[in-house]
Structure 1
Amino acid sequence: MSSLVPRSIFDDFFKDFAPAFYVRPLHGDALPNPSKIKIDVKEDDAAYTVHAEIPGVPKDDIQVSIDGNVVSLRAEVQQKDEKKEGEKVLRSERYYGAVERSFQLPADVDAAQAKAKYDNGVLTLTLPKKQSGATQRLKID
């Protein structure tokens, strides 16, 4: 959900001067919230096309699940720390963990025909619409 509180242009500038600034963990900020996986959804008569930005994640660490008209994206993000002799880490903003996002489409998806492609940090999903059964006209007695 988006916040209804108006944001000031100074919010991002002063966020590092929060009262807890000096007690933040050495290994980075909190994991990005689900809105950090940015998506574009397009629709035509036969299918939905979803483009999701998931940069820096190997394709083996991305999971897509489809349940009716709900699509869920999950990415495992891992930080690889390498400490060399004589080196001292002053601050690291990289992180590890999982980010997840789900969204609902207007119609059910044919999961058996769905396709996914990951290239240059962008996940492209082609999600065919499930064909509903033929409409049957009832005879009124």
Structure 2
Amino acid sequence: MYSSMLRVPSEVLAQFDGLQRQVEQLLGLRGATSIRGSRNGFPAINMGSTPDAIEVYAFVPGVDATSLEVTVDKGLLSIAGERASVVPAEGTTNVYARERYAGKFKRVIALPEDADPAQVQAQYRDGVLRITVNKRESSKPRRIDVQ
């Protein structure tokens, strides 16, 4: 008796999905046309840890290294910059799709507590920004001699 009350027709779920897509599009959450509005954030990052450091790889193809700004403040790592548009001027080409975003961007990443903000290095090569944040010496495991 109760199982029949819990069944929802599939067309109702499809209508809810369509309504959700429409609301997201109206609010600018879907099909964003700028880097700031992208769902997953730009730049895409890989982040990992070694015994000595935290390593962040930010994938920023087409960005000039001089436009990149990396800062660390209060445990937050910020990556900011600007990627120029490669789309030709209006009127010369009909653009049907624009999936590569252009414009200013900023990505903020929370660092672990053992990160040392005084020891940060950043290197840019072939569209990949590698940021190494050394760990504090006090957070590293150390051997204690028993007497």
Tell me if the contact between 1:68 and 1:109 (Cα under 8 Å) persists in the aligned partners: no
Secondary structure at the aligned position of 2:113 is classed as coil
Given candidates 61, 72, 78, the residue that maps to 2:67 is 61
Q: Which residue of 2 aligns with 1:30?
A: 33
Structure 1 alignment gaps of length 5 or more? 1-10, 12-17, 20-28, 134-141
Cα drift, residue 55 of structure 1: 0.6
In the TM superposition, what are the counterparts of 1:86-125 in structure 2 within 5 Å? 88-91=92-95, 93=98, 96-125=102-131
Superimposed CA distance per residue, residues 21-56 of structure 1 (whole angstroms, 9 cap, x where no aligned partner): xxxxxxxx6112262311111112221011110110
Identity within the alignment, %: 28
RCO higher in structure (CA 8 A, sep ≥6): 1
Cα drift, residue 69 of structure 1: 2.0
Point out the structure with the larger helix share.
2
Change (3 A) 1:101 1:76: same
| Counterpart Cα distance in 2 of 1:41 and 1:81 | 31
- The one-letter amino acid of 2:46's match is D
State TM-score, norm by structure 2: 0.59
- The one-letter amino acid of 1:114's match is V
- Note the aligned Cα RMSD (angstroms): 3.1
Q: Which residue of 2 aligns with 1:129?
A: 135
Tell me if the contact between 1:73 and 1:101 (Cα under 8 Å) persists in the aligned partners: yes
Q: Which residue of 2 aligns with 1:44?
A: 50
Secondary structure at the aligned position of 1:113 is classed as strand
Which segment is superposed worse, 111-120 or 74-83? 74-83
State TM-score, norm by structure 1: 0.61
Larger Rg: 2
